[in-house]
Chains A and B, each alone.
Chain A
Amino acid sequence: MSRLRALAAFLLLAIAPAFAWLPELTGSGSPVADRWSMNSFAVTWDLNASTGNNVQGSRTVHDVIAASFATWQQAPNTELNVDEGEPSDVSSESASPANINLICFVCTDVDFADNSTLAVTVITTADGPGKPDGHGGVSQFAGQILKADIIFNPHVPFTTDPGGVGEDLQTIATHEIGHFFGLDHSPVVRSIMFPFASDLTTLSYDDVAGIATLYPKGTPDFPSGSIAGRVTFPSGSAVFGAHVFAESTSGRQVLGPNIRKSPIGTLSRPNGSYVIQGLPPDKYTVTAEPLDGPVASSDLNGFPNAYRRSSVDTNFTTHSH
């Protein structure tokens, strides 16, 4: 197995023009991050509050969904102009109109195949500008999210009460809403976007870095910086798809008590370069490791495909700097 020879990292004070974390990607070769345009049309979430007996608990699904959206909207350095829409009676994903973002507990036309899949979020993006956006206008850019529907598996037991019997609805909803905003799965275990997370309903530093990079606040709550560098093999050739993460060495809780401290990560690109964005002021150790489990590239939405590669490089050893 090859050894990782070099991991050059340096602190950038300005935002670099690259992906901070793991957004969904549109395009091939030079992909762009998927995101909503908050000034093209009003972005809403439209809840069909009907449920089957599979949803139990003292809180309403409306309260849980509203709290889950609020978790993201209250993230530091983030500006998300998303409002609750009119209550919806749409009960089929196939019949979901283009101008609503349906949240549905009774849609039975999504083929979950089994009960191991708890929920899915279907996002629709434009491949370029000028495509009808479903709201009477046209798309502004490639990767613009035009619609996002969240469908909960109607056969899975959910609970709206913390510690209740069934899958914790707020955990699942908060994760899916991350997809709603364009975030892909994260290899950072304490992230809410980790595909196999625990019963966590709060965001981690990694989640905040992702959402704040996609939807930056005009006047930031705190200054942030980036760490950039390049991951190479001993031969000098680039390592593609290395999981590179920055971990604080100070123990300081910079972002407040409701944000769980975690590493903040990204993946290296085809030329081996990486940029970890959204970092609070702190001291960090940077580590590059193979994306070989628990999260692998197949858990991510086509990250290799977006760069026209069949897979990520995993034949190197973990290296910290």
Chain B
Amino acid sequence: MRRLFALLMLLLTIAASATTVKPLTIEELTIAASVVVEGQAAESWSSWNAQHSLIYTFTRIRVTKTLKGQPSEAVVLKQVGGSASGYTQRVAGVNPMKAGDVSVLFLRPSGANDGTMVIVGLMQGNFRVELEAASGSTVVNNGVGDVHQPTVQGVTQYRGAKMTLRQLETRVQKAAANE
């Protein structure tokens, strides 16, 4: 993937912007989030809103480690999309969590002030935690790996890439300490 990407980036010389999302660095994600936690999805459920216009998926996250903020032992994540009563709604880039998923989550309170939390930066604030078979390391990835944005000044590299859990923890804690 990177080989093709690097080749094609050489062909792009115009100023760039993201379409759906603007890539954020881990430091930017940390600053934008009021809470950064490691946790496991305990249960999730989807339902229509009161107006029957939007389906939301709610996921109860059991917090196993706090990297920023003072969350309670469990937080409820609210994401647009899901399936309810024979219909499915989707927003590209939003992957509703399901029970068992383990993630590092960059969160802010929902604008609805309903006690739920939302992920910062669409998919960017959700780093899935996985055990990498080849190395035996615990790695994280938010799907925004090594995004290069060509600019008129040069090429900027956004290092939101796959990394070890420990590396992510260190960067988050350092960024939070510098706020």
- Residues of A with Cβ closer than 8 Å to B? 1, 24, 26, 34, 93-96, 98, 110-111, 113-128, 131, 146, 167-168, 171-172, 175-176, 179, 184-185, 187, 189-190, 192, 194-199, 243, 245, 263, 287, 289-299, 301-302, 305, 311, 315, 318
Contact = CB atoms under 8 A, between A and B. Distances in A.
A93 B128 CA distance: 29
Contacts of B177: none
Interface centre among A110, A179, A298, by most chain B C-beta atoms within 10 angstroms, is: A298
A299 B93 contact: yes
Given A111-B118, A198-B12, A296-B143, A168 B53 contact: no
B86 A131 contact: yes
A256 B4 CA distance: 23
Contacts of A117: 20-21, 121-122
B86 A168 contact: no
Chain B interface mostly helix, strand, loop or mixed?
Answer: loop
Contacts of A263: 4
Contacts of B42: none
A175 B24 CA distance: 20
A26 B88 contact: yes
B119 A113 contact: yes
A121 B20 CA distance: 9
B126 interface: yes
Given A184-B92, A189-B9, A111 B14 contact: no
Nearest to A243: B1
B62 interface: no
Given A113-B108, A122-B89, A128-B86, 20 more contacts: A24-B90, A26-B88, A94-B49, A113-B120, A114-B32, A114-B120, A118-B22, A120-B91, A120-B94, A171-B19, A185-B93, A190-B11, A198-B150, A293-B162, A294-B2, A294-B148, A297-B143, A298-B128, A301-B90, A302-B90
Interface in B78-129: 78, 80-81, 83, 86-96, 98, 108, 110-112, 118-124, 126, 128
Given A1-B134, A167-B17, A172-B19, A121 B53 contact: no
A299 B21 CA distance: 11
B142 interface: yes
Given A116-B21, A196-B21, A294 B12 contact: no
Nearest to B127: A298
Interface residues of B, number: 70
Contact of A289 (B3, B54, B120, B141): B3
Contact of A127 (B19, B20, B88, B93): B88
9 nearest CB pairs, A to B: A293-B145, A298-B143, A175-B19, A198-B16, A296-B143, A189-B8, A299-B143, A116-B121, A111-B111
B90 A125 contact: yes
A40 B112 CA distance: 36
Contact of A126 (B19, B86, B161): B86
A131 B20 contact: no
Contact of B1 (A123, A172, A290, A305): A290
B51 interface: yes
A122 B120 contact: no
B92 A292 contact: no
